[in-house]
Amino acid sequence: MKRKKISLRSALEGFAEKRGISTRLLILFIVLFAVAVTLAPPTQHYFAQRAQISALQADVESNRKKLEEARAELQRWRDPEYVKSQARERLHFVLPGERQYIILGVQSEIDKSTQTAAPINQEFPIGVPWYSRVISSITSVGVGVTTP
């Protein structure tokens, strides 16, 4: 058995004749298919990298806003009057010559929409050392508070 030598051109012509299309059109489709297969992965990587760049730019912008907020807070803390007001409010510090009174057992009306800290324990044990009261205050935080 002798094999016939078949050229690419004759094979394409035979295929094209069977399908009813021209050889040039078939070659054009093959070239376009090869170009599409060649360009598909780089194009996919390009769009994936663009999405990643957009996400990173949004992250950088978010971090920039946080940095500006931190700088503004640092500027506030550099003001001695702000530090003094925070010490009075948060730590209940008083200036020399002043007296501070803390009234226990009185329920004050607290607006629930603006409350950011845990509620204050109104049942402090009286007549015990200060560190016992601190421990009692810490252990009672969150007791009986329901989460939304």
71 domain residue, yes or no? no
- The domain containing residue 56 runs over which residues? 9-66
DSSP characters over 97-111: T-------SPPPP--
37 domain residue, yes or no? yes
pLDDT at position 1 is 53
109 domain residue, yes or no? no
pLDDT at position 95 is 86
Structural domains of the chain, count: 1
- Predicted structure pTM score: 0.43
| Token duo for residue 60 | 């950088």
Helix 8-19 vs helix 23-78: angle between axes, to the nearest 10 degrees?
90
How far out from the chain centre does Cα 129 lie? 44
Flag residues of the chain having pLDDT under 70: 1-4, 6, 8, 12, 16, 106-126, 141-148
The C-alpha atoms of residue 105 and residue 110 are separated, in whole angstroms, by 14
The C-alpha atoms of residue 2 and residue 84 are separated, in whole angstroms, by 105
